Chains A and B, each alone.
Chain A
Amino acid sequence: DAEITQSPRHKITETGRQVTLACHQTWNHNNMFWYRQDLGHGLRLIHYSYGVQDTNKGEVSDGYSVSRSNTEDLPLTLESAASSQTSVYFCASSVDRDYGYTFGSGTRLTVV
C-alpha cells in the first residue's frame, strides 16, 4: 500500500545544531508540503514543492530549507536549530495542489 512516512518520530537536539527531518511518500504525488503544529497556531506552512527541483517558501520559512531531488522525498533542514523551532512537524503530499492532502504521522522535535 502507498504511504507517507516521516522519520524520526521523536528528536531531541541542541541549539545551533543542524537537523534534517525526513519525509518519504510512495503515492507518486508531485506535491509535497511541510507544516509545523503549535498550540494556538494550528498548522503553519513552512515550505512546499510542486515537483522535482521546485521549492517554495510558506508563511514560516525562516530558519528552514528543503530540497526536492526526486518525487518521493522532501527533507526539511533546520540550518541552526533554535528553541523556537521546538514543535511537531507534519509532512503531506497530494495529487492536486489544494485538496486531497495525505499527512504523515509527524515528528516531534525538541530543541534544548
Chain B
Amino acid sequence: DQQVKQNSPSLSVQEGRISILNCDYTNSMFDYFLWYKKYPAEGPTFLISISSIKDKNEDGRFTVFLNKSAKHLSLHIVPSQPGDSAVYFCAAGGSVGRLYFGRGTQLTVWP
C-alpha cells in the first residue's frame, strides 16, 4: 500500500505562471518531507524539504507547504521556467528508517 501518493502523473504550465505539485501521505509517523527533481538520464536531486514543526519552507522560487491535519503537502514554483521541466518526486520519512517516495509528477513548462 502506497504511503506517499502523487495523484497527478503530469502537469503542464505556461512559462511565468505558478506550478503546484501535490502530494498526500498516510503514515502519521512521517515528520520530514522532501521534494526531489529528476531530469532524464540523471539521478534524482534534492530540491527542498520541510519538517513537520513547520507549515511552510521557502527557497527562492520554490515553496513547500505542509498541512499536517490533511496529511498533504504541495510544492509551488513561481515563476515557472522551461528549465523546471522534470519529474518531481515527493518523499517522506523521519523515525521510520527510510524514505518513502511517491510515483512522481512530470512537469512540463512551455514557453
Point out residues on A near B: beta carbons under 8 Å.
33, 35, 40-43, 45, 48, 90, 92, 97-106
Q: How many A-B residue pairs have CB under 8 A?
A: 55
CB distance from B3 to the nearest CB of A (A): 10
Interface string of B68-109 (1 = CB under 8 A from A): 000000000000000000000101011111110111100000
Describe B's contact surface by its main secondary structure: loop
Q: A42-B89, A42-B104, A43-B89 are in contact. Are A99 and B99 (CB under 8 A)?
A: yes
A26 CB, nearest partner CB in chain B, Å = 16
Within 23-57 of B, Cβ neighbours of A (below 8 Å) are at 32, 34, 36, 41-46, 49
Q: Are A41 and B103 in contact (CB under 8 A)?
A: yes
B94 touches A98 (CB 8 A): yes
> How many angstroms from the CA of A43 to the CA of B100 in the assembled complex?
9
Question: What is the chain B residue whose CB lies nearest that of A102?
Answer: B46
- Contact residues in B for A100 (Cβ distance below 8 Å): 46
Provide the bound-state CA to CA distance between A104 and B41, in Å: 11
Contact assessment for B101 and A43 in the assembled complex, using a CB-CB cutoff below 8 Å: yes
In whole angstroms, what is the CA distance A102 to B43 when docked?
A: 9
Determine the chain A residues whose CB is within 8 A of the CB of B98 once the complex forms. Answer: 33, 45, 48, 97-98
